[in-house]
Amino acid sequence: MDEIQKRILALRAEVAEHSRRYYDEDAPTISDFEYDRLIHTLADLEDQYPQFKSADSPTQRVGGTVSAKFSPVHHEAPLESLADVFSYDELFAFGRRVDDALEDGHSYDVEPKIDGLSIALEYVNGRFVRGATRGDGIDGEDVTENLRTIRSLPQTLKGAPERLIVRGEVYMAKDTFAEINRLREISGEPPLANPRNAAAGSLRQLDAKVTAERRLDLIVYNIQIPQEGYQTHSETLDALAAMGFDVVPYKVYDNIHDCVERIDWIGENRDSFKYEMDGAVIKLNGLEQRRIMGSTSKAPRWAVAYKYPPEKKESRVVDIAVQVGRTGVLTPKAVIEPVRLAGTTVTNATLHNQDFIDKLDVRVGDTVLVRKAGEIIPEVIDVIRDKRPEVTIPFRLPKCCPECGSPVLRDIDGAAMRCTGAECPAQRLRNIVHFASKEAMDIDGLGPAAVESLVAAGLISTPADLYYLEPEPVAALERKGKKSAENLISAIEASKSRGLARLLCAFGIRQVGQKAGKVLAKYYAGLDELMAAGEEELTAIPDIGPVTAGYISEWFANPQSQHQIRLLREAGVSFESGEETVDNRFAGKTFVLTGALELFTRDEASEIIERFGGRASSSVSKKTSYVLAGENAGSKLTRAQELGIEIITEQQFREMIE
C-alpha cells in the first residue's frame, strides 16, 4: 500500500507540473496524448484504491488557473473538462453506462475535438459584452478586448435571446500558424510550439494589438445559458449557426456503435480541416437526458472525448538531406519512402540535429519508425536494427555550408550546427531583416514582409543593396505607393549614420548584440580599428569573453563578411563610433528597470544611463545601485526591497539626469 500511495503521489506531482506548463504557461513539454495517458493512469489507480483519492487530485478538477494579469470572471455554468477514452472498448463501456442510466432511447452527437483554448462568450440583446477563458472551470480570465480582435467572432447576433452565454474554442488555423512561424524564422525569433499553445498565448496577451496580429479564429459548440426551449444539442448548434456563429460540424447517430463510422472518418480526414484536432467528442444529444446523467466534480457523465493515438509507421530511409534554415542552422531530414500519416502522405521526416542522429544511429538504408510530432511535423523516432542492410555508414553533417561553402560551427550552448557566412543565400532574408531591425540599424517600415517583397522583386540581395534603392521600383510593389516608398528610402538613408554600435549588432555576429556592440564602440573609434584588433586584445575588454572574441575574429576573417563591409563602405554607411559620454555621473552605478514607464521607454532610459557612464541590468542583485520602478512593478521591486536597494521613481530619475 505504501508503494501504491507513493506512485499515486508521484503521478499527481507529475501531472500537476505538466498541467502548469500546458494551461498557465502555454508551453507543454510532452504531447497531449502522453499527458492524457498520465491522467488516465492516475484515475485508474485512484479508482482501484479509493482510500487514496483526494479532492485536490488533478483528476478531480480542470487543469488551469486564473492569472492575476486579468480580471476574474465567475462562470454561471461551469466549463467542464471531458473524460478521455483511448479505444473503442472504452467508448462502448461509456455507451453501456448511458444505457444503464436511461430508460428511453437516446442518440449521440459526434464532433471533431478542436485543439484550441476553451472560452465562454456572453451576449446581451444580441451584442457581445464579455468573454472569458475556462480557467479552472469555475472561474476564468476576462479577455474581452482580445476576443474583439477575432474577425470570426460576431459582435452582434441575429435572432438571439435577451441573454446568451455560449462556449467555443479559440484556435489558430494551420495555414496562419505556418505563415507566422515562417515570418518569425526570418526575424530570428523562436517558432511557436504548436497551434493550440500559439492560440492560448496569443489570447492571453496584455496587449490586444499582439492578439490581433496573430489572426485567431473562433468556433462554437455549446449553449451554456439558456437551454430552455431546446430539446436536443443538435437543435442548439443549428440555432447558433442561424445567429451568425461558425459552428462545429456534427453528425447524429442512434447508437454508440454507429458513432465509430464518424470517428474513423474524422481521424482519416484530419488534414482537410483548417484547425488542428486531437480527437472526436461523443455527446448525448438529448438535453433532458444530459440533466439526468449529471456530472462528476470535473467532467460530464454524458460525454467523452475519443483520443486518436499518434500514428507510427515503418518506412525506409532512401537519403539524408541537409537544409540550411534562414538563421543558418543546418537541419538534417530523412528522405523516406512515402507513408500515410494522420491524413497526409509523408516523404520527409526531421532528424533534428547531429546529436539526435548519433543517439538513434540513423543511416541511409535503415528501416525507421516515423510519427507526426504534435500531429504536425513528421519525425523519425526509432531505428529497426534487425532490418538494417549489411553495408551502411554513420551519417555526419558537413563541415562546410552546402549553400555557400562557409565553415559550419556548433552552437556553444546547444546542439545546432550553424553556417557562418554573412552572405549565405539561405540566410538572405533573415540577415536583411535583422540588419534593418529596431535593435540594429532601426529602419522604420522594413519588417519581414517588406524585405520579402523586395527580395522577391529582385531589388535587393544583401543589406548593402538597401542603400541603392530608388523610389519608383519600390512604389511599384504590392501594398506600396509613392509616399510609402519615399518614406522607406528616407528611413534607409537616415540609418547610414546610426554609428558603430548598431552596425556591429546589425552584422549578426554571434553573441554580439546591442550590449556588446555598445561596449566595443566605446573602446574603438571606428570599424577599421576594431577589425585590426586581435582576440587577445578583444578578450581584455570587459563583457567580451574569449568565445565572443573568437566569433568576432572569425566573422571579420570570412571573405563574405569582408565583401559585405566593402559594399557598405561604398554605400556611405558610417563606420565611426559616434559614442558620446555626457559625463560620468553614473560611473560604477548599475540600474534595473521594472514596471511600466510613462516618461521614457525602456530603451530610452537604458541609453541615458549608459551615456552617463552607468550600466542597465535585467536582474536585481546586491551590486544593483538603483531600481527605477514604474507602474505595476513586480518581483524585481520585491527583491530590491528585500535587499535594501534604493528605489527611485521616474521623476527622481529625471531630476538625476537634468
- Helix axes of 32-48 and 2-19: crossing angle, nearest 10 degrees: 150
Amino acid at 319: D
Check: CB of residue 378 under 8 Å from CB of residue 341.
yes
Are the CB atoms for 463 and 434 separated by under 8 Å?
no
Residue 536: C-alpha distances to residues 420, 431, 474, 544, 547 (Å): 21, 28, 45, 10, 11
113: annotated active-site residue: yes
Q: Provide the grid cell at 464.
A: 548593402
Q: Are 169 and 117 in contact (CB under 8 A)?
A: yes
Residue 275: all three cell numbers together: 484547425
Catalytic residue among 6, 113, 209, 312: 113
Q: How many CB atoms lie within 10 A of CB 650?
A: 18
Cis peptide leading into residue 226 (ω within 30°):
yes
Q: Which segments of 186-329 are extended strands (E)?
A: 217-225, 251-253, 277-284, 303-307, 312-324
Whose grid coordinates read 462568450?
121
Q: What is the largest CA-CA distance in the chain?
A: 89
Cell 539561405 sits on residue:
426
Quote the DSSP letter at residue 86: -
Residue bearing cell 526531421: 350
Question: What is the rounded CA–CA span in Å between residue 496 and residue 469?
Answer: 14
Starting at the edge strand that comes first in sequence, how are the strands of the sheet with 303-307 ordered?
83-85, 303-307, 277-284, 108-114, 251-253
Residue 239 sits at φ, ψ, to 5 deg, of -65, -40
Place of cell 530603451: 603
CA 189/CA 503 separation, integer angstroms = 20
Active centre residues (catalytic): 113
